[in-house]
Structure formats: C-alpha cells, structure tokens
C-alpha cells in the first residue's frame, strides 16, 4: 500500500470560525465538503484537540471562509498554528480583516473569496476527529479570486524550508514546516507513539518527512 496516495486527493483550505457565548475562535481546516445541493448539506472534520471543535460541539454553529490564492502565511499562522485555548486569535486582529455576521460568528475578509454559514444537524465520532454534518443557512461570494488548494498552499504560501544542520536525523512537518531534530529531542522521532501530533499544526506523525 502506498501511504502517499492520499496526497493525490485535491483539498481546499478554509478558516473555520465559531462562537460559544461571548467567545469567538477559529482554525484552519482542509476538510470541508459539500454533499448535496437540495438541501444544501456540507461536512467539516475537526481534530478533537482543537478548541474550535469544543466550541462547535457546544454551539452547533459555524462559518467557513474559503481561502483564496491571495492569502498570506500570516493568516495560517494566526488560525492554524496556535490554539484559542492559549491566545485570543481575534484580540489583535485588525478590524478590517474580519466581520461578525448575524449568527454572531466572524468571517474573514482578506485572503478569502467567499463564506458559508451552517448549523450542525449531526456529528460523528471519528476517533481523533469529529465529523460535523451541517445545513447551510447563508453563503455569499466576496470576490472572484481563485480558491487556494492544499497543493497551492504548499507550493506558494508556506515558507520554503531551510535545511537544518544536525548530527541526528531531522524530520520536517509537511504541513507547517515544524522541525523535529533527533539530536535535540529526548526521544528519537521514530520512537514517538503513533498518536503523537505536530506541536504546531496538530497534524499526525505521518505528515512528517525525513530531511534528505
Ligand atoms: C494547512 C493546514 C491545514 C489544517 N487542516 C486541519 C483540518 O482539516 N482539521 C483540523 O482539525 N485541523 C487542521 N489544521 C490544524 C488546526 O488549524 C490547528 O491545530 C489550530 O491551531 C487549532 O486551533 P484551535 O485550538 O484554536 O481550534 C490545519 C492546519 C494547517 C496549517
């Protein structure tokens, strides 16, 4: 079985936002899919470790801002590499960069071309992740920029990786570029448990590659 086969699947990229009471938060996902048009049903898959997952479970509502090819890496850093459990991602976010919709949940305005609002109708425990199935309640197009694919993000938005000099093996997260240098760590990468996740973007161990 070729483990790299799934890299041939095309994904888009999204800022998934939600609220619970006064608290608003969001994270980057690549897992939104439309299933049916009438009714308009979508799904998102969110890691249970993400604060956003906890908030959606409580509120049952979310917005998805569809990231386009003009997006800057800063957007990914803000929403994809830190948790709302540790920081308020909107506290120092310029007010021109987002807008609160009628459902009291923000959408992003820069680096995105459209948004969808939805209400959860069912959720499924997928082990590490929760799959939320939701009914679309609102949606609109902001501009005609091309949507960013996951492949576009890797080729054009994510900073190019710099070679790390080390006497040990160096493992690099393909998603965010986090470096695991065996020389500096107590446990060699290959001995980490299978459920270990990238400390930065929370992607699984299988998303790391050995620096050649
Ligand atoms: C390019 C990219 C794609 C990501 N895709 C997903 C995803 O599909 N599902 C998910 O749960 N997390 C995904 N993440 C990780 C979350 O965005 C990240 O763990 C975030 O810091 C969680 O924030 P929160 O704890 O405030 O919810 C992705 C991150 C990046 C950078």
Q: Which of 28, 52, 153 to mutate to test the pocket of ligand 1 (most atoms within 8 A of CB)?
A: 28
The string of pLDDT tens digits covering residues 35-58 is 999 999 999 999 999 999 999 999
Report which protein residue has its CA nearest ligand 1's atom 5. Answer: 29
To test the ligand 1 pocket, which listed residue (11, 12, 30) has its Cβ within 8 A of the most ligand atoms?
30
Q: Give the mean model confidence (pLDDT) for residues 72-91.
A: 95
The whole-angstrom separation of Cα 106 and Cα 211 is: 39
> How far apart (Å, rounded) are the C-alpha atoms in residues 115 and 133?
17
> Is any ligand 1 atom within 6 A of the Cβ of residue 25?
yes
**Cβ(76) to ligand 1 under 6 A?**
yes
CATH architecture designation of domain 160-212:
Single Sheet (2.20)
- Least confident interval from 68-82, 132-146, 198-212: 198-212
What pLDDT, in 10s, does the model give residues 85-124?
999 999 999 999 999 999 999 999 999 999 999 999 999 9
pLDDT at residue 80, as a whole number: 94
Please give the mean pLDDT across all residues of the chain.
94
- Compute the Cα dihedral for 93, 130, 29, 206 and give only its sign: positive
3-state secondary structure of 178: coil
pLDDT score recorded for residue 170: 94
Residue 59 Cα to chain centre, angstroms? 19
DSSP 90-115: TTTS-GGGEEE-TTS-EEE-SSEEEE
pLDDT recorded at residue 67: 98
Q: What residue spans in the chain does CATH classification 2.30.110.10 cover? A: 3-154
Using omega within 30 degrees of 0 as the cis cutoff, is the peptide bond preceding 39 cis? Answer: yes
Is any atom of ligand 1 closer than 6 Å to the C-beta of 114?
A: no
As assigned by CATH, the class of the 3-154 domain is: mainly beta
**What's the pLDDT score for residue 161?**
72
Atom of ligand 1 minimally distant from the CA of 153: 1
Residue 136, CB half-sphere, CA atoms under 13 Å: how many?
A: 18
Confidence of residue 165 (pLDDT cuts 50, 70, 90): confident
| Ranges for all domains in the chain classified under CATH 2.20.28.10 | 160-212
167 C-alpha to ligand 1 centroid (Å): 31
Q: List the one residue out of 165, 176, 166 whose CA is nearest residue 199.
A: 176
> Atom 16 in ligand 1: which residue has the minimum CA distance?
80
Q: Check: CB of residue 78 under 8 Å from CB of residue 93.
A: yes
Answer yes or no: are the C-beta atoms of 113 and 147 closer than 8 Å. Answer: yes
Cα(186) to centroid of ligand 1, in Å? 26
H or E element: which one contains 150? helix 150-152
The CB of 176 under 6 Å from ligand 1? The reply is yes
Between 199 and 72, whose confidence is greater?
72
Q: How far apart are CA 107 and CA 110, in angstroms?
A: 10
Residue 121 has a pLDDT of 98
Q: What is the mean pLDDT of residues 176-191?
A: 92
């Amino acid at each position: 079985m070729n483990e790299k086969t799934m890299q041939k699947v095309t994904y888009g990229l999204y800022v998934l936002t939600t609220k619970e009471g006064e608290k608003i938060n969001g994270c980057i996902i690549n897992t939104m899919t439309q299933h049916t048009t009438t009714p308009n049903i979508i799904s998102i898959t969110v890691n249970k470790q993400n604060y956003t997952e906890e908030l959606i479970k409580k509120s049952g509502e979310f917005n998805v801002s569809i990231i386009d090819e003009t997006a800057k890496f800063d957007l990914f850093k803000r929403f994809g590499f830190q948790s709302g459990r540790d920081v308020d991602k909107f506290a120092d976010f310029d007010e021109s960069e987002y807008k609160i919709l009628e459902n009291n949940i923000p959408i992003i305005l820069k680096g995105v071309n459209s948004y969808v609002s939805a209400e959860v109708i069912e959720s499924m425990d997928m082990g590490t992740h929760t799959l939320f199935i939701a009914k679309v309640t609102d949606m609109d197009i902001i501009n005609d920029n091309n949507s960013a694919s996951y492949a576009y993000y890797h080729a054009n938005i994510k900073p190019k990786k710099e070679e790390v000099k080390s006497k040990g093996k160096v493992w690099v997260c393909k998603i965010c570029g986090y470096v695991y240098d065996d020389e500096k760590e107590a446990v060699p990468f290959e001995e980490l448990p299978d459920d270990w996740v990238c400390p930065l973007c929370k992607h699984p161990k299988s998303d790391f590659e050995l620096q050649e």
